[in-house]
Structure 1
Amino acid sequence: MSSLTAAPVSAGPTGDRVLRRARRRNTALGLLAWVVGLVFVAPALWMVLTSFHSEPDAATNPPSLGAPLTFASYREFFAGRGGASPWPPLINSLWASLASTLLVLVLALPAAYALSIRRVRKWTDVMFFFLSTKMLPVVAGLLPVFLFARNTGLLDNIWLLVILYTSMNLPIAVWMMQSFLADVPVAVIEAAQIDGARLPAILTRVIAPMAGPGIAATALICFIFSWNELLFARVLTGVVAQTAPVFLTSFVTSQGLFLAQLCAASVVISLPVLAAGFAAQDKLVQGLSLGAVK
């Protein structure tokens, strides 16, 4: 029998140089990652800091980091600056986002089932059709939608936004959930069918629990897209169905830009999305990583 053994990598001067070079490279990459992260986070941190400044301090150029902190902007925001209460827009955004996300999940789950597990004929053409619906610029469909809403009396109606957000997010949801459901074992579904389970029971009791992280990731992304949508909401709503992003535009007036109040409003309006992200961050990471490693 041969007594040859592999020499350790770190043996000798050459191995030490390789380890030192690897450590320096990892340290440099770590520092680069921190710098990139701070660059992306810095605007959000600056927005939060500015929201605690008074309007004169927020408007100074260059900005003052050591300005006194105050809650005046938040008090004015919740009190309803200029007689406009922030609560109706916040409730409208929450209702439109939650209702459209629920409708998207109800429609996308059977569609993804038919495209991944019980594949229909020419399912790749169907997937391309869903993708092609996102190729049209949103602004290109703005005028037809506006004319339709005006002729049907749906202007300034929150249900119109629910329908629009559902149609806008449905292709993305089908694409995401199709990849998630493709990892569900077919044997489990066949066993449920042998036990007499019908399609609604299979979708809700078998597939939904197994693909829970993927469904949660899809729901969170659809909720964020609906919450942040501005163009359609700005054109199709007025007072009754005004959403939170549209309400933010009221802080830019002919009298000037109320920067501190705008930052305070932006922080408050961003909190629901941040809270949803933190609450479902484990599901989001797990769902987005499904199928990444085969």
Structure 2
Amino acid sequence: MTTTVEAPEATPSRLAVAPPRRNRSGMLLGVLAWFIGIVFVLPVLWMVLTSFHSEADAATNPPSLFAPLTLDGYANFFGAASGASPWPPLANSLTASVLSTVLVLLLAIPAAYALSIRPVRKWTDVLFFFLSTKMLPIVAGLLPVYLIAQGIGMLDNIWLLIVLYTAMNLPIAVWMMRSFLAEVPFEILEAAAIDGAGLSRTLRTIVGPIVLPGIAATSLICFIFSWNELLFARVLTATVAQTAPVFLTSFVTSQGLFLAKVCAAAVVVSLPVLIAGFAAQDKLVQGLSLGAIK
């Protein structure tokens, strides 16, 4: 006598329970993401709103949300009331950030190529050496840098900041570009070598388009770090090479903190970074996710 055991069939109730649970978990994650986003964005929105208030309304406690709007803070920032023009500091920041980012890419891409696609001996030691240079606090090397700059007559010189920003961002760029270049298929490089392509042509026409999202992500991060740097610019510059963050601190005087002026200045100084991030957001997301999945 044989017995037949039939596999239990999934009941409709079991099939109907799983999707609502997944939907509820996805909804909770979405609500949590929106809450975290609002927490991060709310101070920025408050800064923008305060920049359009007068000093009296900005200093009220509790803050006045529906106070009359005015452009006095922006007028003070652009020199209509204070007499100090922000254009030279903004131009200095733009020059130092763009040129240092270009130099970082020119140095980091070949170095990362040698450490990933054409690895040298003890390449891990080289990477950790690059990383170790970021462990020293900037303030620890500030005095030697100041004395060297004073000795060679480079104080208050924009080229000194370009060299320092390049050295400051180069280790990060090498680490990032190495992870991006490691994802380039080696077969493509072999085919290019068979066709007679040299190193420069390979980097320019083959490797460059493949890792373009990674280059965009690295460029944006280096640009942000250079634009926001304050300590070197504060100590090593005066008036000629003054950058935008240093100019921003000039609004905090011994007479007090003028919130409307500071908020207006902070909005204007933040705009280049926000514009660059918005323009490169697609490449930035692709670059930061490149190499995440093997």
Q: Indicate the TM-score class for this superposition, using the shorter chain for normalisation.
A: over 0.9
Taking only the aligned residue pairs, the percentage that are identical comes to 70
Distance in 2, Cα, partners of 1:65 & 1:186 = 59
Distance in 1, Cα, partners of 2:7 & 2:64 = 65
Q: Tell me the residue number matched to 2:215.
A: 215
Change (3 A) 1:81 1:156: farther
Distance in 2, Cα, partners of 1:106 & 1:59 = 48
State the AA in 1 paired with 2:189: I
How do 1:1-294 residues align onto structure 2 when only pairs under 5 Å count? 7=9, 11-12=12-13, 14-294=14-294
Does the aligned pair in 1 maintain the 2:55–2:258 contact within 8 Å? yes
1:138 positional shift:
1.1
Change (3 A) 1:52 1:11: same
State the AA in 1 paired with 2:151: N
1:36 positional shift:
1.3
1:11 positional shift:
1.8
Distance in 2, Cα, partners of 1:64 & 1:277 = 31
State the AA in 2 paired with 1:205: T
Does the aligned pair in 2 maintain the 1:96–1:226 contact within 8 Å? yes
State the AA in 1 paired with 2:12: A
Does the aligned pair in 2 maintain the 1:80–1:86 contact within 8 Å? no
1:187 positional shift:
1.6
1:83 positional shift:
2.1
> Which range moved further: 36-45 or 20-29?
20-29
Change (3 A) 1:244 1:81: farther
SS of aligned partner of 1:135: coil
State the AA in 1 paired with 2:54: S
Please give the per-residue CA displacement for 1:187-244, whole angstroms capped at 9, x wherever unaligned.
2112222222211111111111111110111001000000000011001000000000
State the AA in 2 paired with 1:149: A
1:7 positional shift:
4.9
Change (3 A) 1:80 1:133: farther
Does the aligned pair in 2 maintain the 1:116–1:181 contact within 8 Å? yes
1:4 positional shift:
7.3
Distance in 1, Cα, partners of 2:267 & 2:246 = 15
- Residue segments in structure 2 that go unaligned for 5+ positions in a row: none
SS of aligned partner of 1:79: coil
Please give the per-residue CA displacement for 1:85-135, whole angstroms capped at 9, x wherever unaligned.
000000000000000000000000100000000000010110110111111
Does the aligned pair in 1 maintain the 2:75–2:81 contact within 8 Å? no
CA RMSD across the alignment: 1.8
SS of aligned partner of 2:250: helix
SS of aligned partner of 1:143: helix
Distance in 1, Cα, partners of 2:157 & 2:242 = 9
Please give the per-residue CA displacement for 1:155-181, whole angstroms capped at 9, x wherever unaligned.
100000000000000000000000000
SS of aligned partner of 2:78: helix
Distance in 1, Cα, partners of 2:181 & 2:241 = 36
Change (3 A) 1:108 1:15: same
SS of aligned partner of 1:241: coil
State the AA in 1 paired with 2:86: P
